Amino acid sequence: MTSSIVNGSRGRNALCYLTKLAQAVLILAITLLGLIAVTFVIGGVVPIDPVLAIVGDRASPAIYARVRQELGLDLPLIEQFWSYLKKVVTGDFGNSVLTTNPVMADIANAFPATFELATLGTLLGVLLGIPLGVLAAVRRGSFIDHLVRLVGLAGYSIPVFWLGLMSLFLFYAKLGWVGGPGRIDLTYSYLYTPVTNIVLLDTAIQGQWDAFHDAVSHIILPACLLGYYSLAYISRMTRSFMLNELAQEYVIAARVKGLSEIRVIWRHALRNAAVPMVTVVALSYANLLEGSVLTETVFAWPGLGQYITNSLQNADMNAVLGGTIVIGTVFVLLNLASDLLYRLLDSRTR
């Protein structure tokens, strides 16, 4: 009797998990379909003629009409979208007008640079932003609290391009503490073989430490810049979550029991605040992956943001749409991963 009840309970739990998984997959598919549709529509209303970008403005009407037909732009909009959707599902974004390469190949070459930069920026934001947010919440109303909030406010207010230019002027042009624009000097770029296209990883694995140190000197400034903006967001949210947790009854009970203040703050309050912080960190990471366009432009960083910017300036809509869809997909997947991790960490959401 007991065994049948247990087996029935397990069967219901398994069915429940499968149902939730199917719902998550369905929501993900609908979200990605909506992303592709919105991107396609925006690409259609942008006042840029992809045919002129290919043939030039001096081409004859016959050549213009032939290229327009080859691109399928003479078809009804719904047929154009269906054709585009079938290609996107297979990873075919067409060829880039600017590089003549498949857009997916260009994205595969550019994305690791953005990934490397955004990852280091997020790590800096987490390692510094969480302790500062906790300290500001514990010392609420003190000088430290006001200072942390001021630093966060400045991170939201100062334009990234201005701060990047000033940083280059001071630390590179004047002091010479860091490398200049780009990922690595041309002298060191031939000392290693690109495998993952993540320069720090490739140079370290192959033991090219001179090239590694040069790559570090180039990435440290843009990574610190992105890390500062990530720190501003994470510290503010950490402070908010910690203030909420420190006002809970379990914190008062822990203090009444005689637990040390360090244990109450770092082991109990921060542990509960860490659950919603997962979503905050994931959103911050996604924002750096999609929002580093200006940083990559200022520092001549050959990432996905600069690739999309150059493509847009040259009316290369295949590359613009492909890059936008890839960034949007990464954003959606990071949100989904944070939701799943949130459920694993907090049993109440299950």
Q: State pLDDT tens for residues 84-143.
A: 888 888 888 888 877 888 888 888 888 899 899 999 999 999 999 999 998 998 888 888
pLDDT in tens, 144-203: 889 988 888 888 788 888 888 898 888 888 888 888 888 888 888 888 888 888 888 989
Q: What percent of the chain has pLDDT over 90?
A: 8
State CA 331 to chain mean position distance.
Answer: 7
Averaged pLDDT of the chain: 82
In angstroms, rounded to a whole number, what is the distance separating the alpha carbons of residues 318 and 348?
45
Q: How many residues does the chain have?
A: 350
CA dist 314 → 55, 283, 307, 319 (Å): 13, 31, 11, 10
pTM above 0.85, yes or no: no
- pLDDT at residue 8 is higher than 60: no
- What value does the mean pLDDT take over residues 253-258? 80
**Bridge partners, residue 95, by sequence:** 102
At 274-298, the pLDDT tens digits run 888 888 888 888 888 776 777 888 8
Distances (CA, A) of 99 to 40, 103, 159, 174, 297: 21, 9, 31, 36, 18
Percent of the chain with pLDDT over 70: 89
Please report, for residues 136, 228, 248, the alpha-carbon distance to residue 147 in angstroms, rounded to integers and kept in the order given. Answer: 8, 14, 25
Contacts 24+ apart (CB under 8 A), 265-271: 265/134, 265/138, 266/134, 269/242, 269/245, 270/134, 270/242, 270/245
Q: At 349, is the pLDDT very low, low, confident or very high (cuts 50, 70, 90)?
A: low
CA 49 to CA 118: how far, in whole Å? 33
CA-nearest of 195, 225, 202 to 118 is 225
Mean pLDDT of 320-327: 84
Residue 259 confidence class, pLDDT cut points 50, 70, 90 = confident
Where do the domains of the chain lie?
103-349
Lowest mean pLDDT among 129-143, 213-227, 318-332: 318-332
State the Cα–Cα distance between residues 157 and 236, nearest whole angstrom.
14
- B/e letters for 208-226, b = 16+ CB within 10 Å, e = fewer, are beebbebbbbbbbbbbbbb
In this prediction, residue 2 carries a pLDDT of: 53
Determine contact, residues 106/311, Cβ cutoff 8 Å: no
DSSP string, 289-348: HHH-HHHHHHTT--SHHHHHHHHHHTT-HHHHHHHHHHHHHHHHHHHHHHHHHHHHH-GG
User: CATH for 103-349, among 1.20.1260.10, 3.40.50.450, 1.10.3720.10, 1.25.40.20?
Assistant: 1.10.3720.10
Q: Would you call 313 exposed, middle or buried from its count of C-beta atoms within 10 A (0-12, 13-18, 19+)?
A: exposed
Predicted confidence band at 12 (pLDDT cuts at 50, 70, 90)?
low
Q: Is the pLDDT of residue 72 over 80?
A: no
Q: Which DSSP string corresponds to 174-199?
A: IS--S--SSSS-TTTTTSS--SSS-H
Query: pLDDT category, 350, cuts 50, 70, 90?
Result: low
Has residue 17 got a pLDDT over 70? no
